[in-house]
Structure 1
Amino acid sequence: MTVEPFAGVPVTDYDAALAWYEKLLGAPPAFLPNGTEAVWGLGEGRWIYIEVRPGHAGHAMHTLFADDFDARLARIAERGLEPARREAYENGVRKAVFRDPDGNEIGFGGDPL
């Protein structure tokens, strides 16, 4: 069985969210299905999208694991975004949490140093 995540993030302001996610992900969307959604490919069969859904905005919590954790955070910082918080767990795994304009949490996880 193949499982391919298509993770949604509800937002209130399409233009503000589009600009923010382009900074976070470092690229424009892979495709725009309509005037209220934008979709980014994160890798083979892995997707994240924003959708204007004001009544649900601000409640998403997604963590993306990256093997280039430090380099990825440095590139995101170069584009003007800093994590809202950083975490380190007892097993050494690290996490940086970003908050979009609606307060949705998009975290990046990485292996120990």
Structure 2
Amino acid sequence: MEAAVRPRLILREREPVVPVGIFAGIAVSNYESALGWYKQLLGAEPTFYPNDTEAVWQLAEDRYVYIIENADRAGGAVSMIWMDDPGSAVAGIAERGLRPVGVEQHGNVCKWVFHDADGNETGIGGEVSEST
């Protein structure tokens, strides 16, 4: 039996198909507990609070991540925040008391994986030198 051929994604530099911006949500079961954890992870107070069970951080222009209390949906998020210097960002996160649960490296791209109390995954990643 022949092995299946996997198609390769080829990325080309070009104008984005849609305007670049994101407002990504992470459902959590306990807002107060998660708020503290995400403050540690992101190293900042939220940019704004839309209501009593939501907090929003602006990561860059037109790029936001937010937590929202919703126990029925908590635990299924998977995301990665792309950083210019992910190693330094992870060192800063460690200074704030959080440690990654794993590290993935593919060539010169590395992702440090963090899980909140619900199991939501947030990766901190980007390009690194081959020796990292």
TM-score range normalised by the length of the shorter chain: over 0.9
- 1:98 corresponds to which of 114, 127, 130: 114
| Sequence identity percentage | 48
Return the offset for 1:98. Answer: 0.3
Return the offset for 1:112. Answer: 2.6
Q: Is the 8 A contact 2:35 2:55 kept in 1?
A: yes
Q: TM-score, normalised by structure 2?
A: 0.82
Q: Which has the higher contact order (CA 8 A, sep 6+)?
A: 1
Q: Which runs of 4+ in 1 moved over 4 A?
A: none
Q: TM-score, normalised by structure 1?
A: 0.96
Higher Cα Rg: structure 1 or 2?
2
Q: After superposition, what is the alpha-carbon deviation per residue over 1:51-102, rounded to whole angstroms, capped at 9, x for unaligned? A: 011011000000111001111011000000000100111x221000100111
The aligned counterpart of 2:21 is 4
Provide the aligned length of Structure 1 versus Structure 2: 112
- The Cα RMSD (Å) is 0.9
Matched, 1:87 2:104: yes
Listed as ranges, the matches of 1:1-113 within 5 Å are 1-89=18-106, 91-113=107-129
Q: Is the 8 A contact 2:85 2:128 kept in 1?
A: no
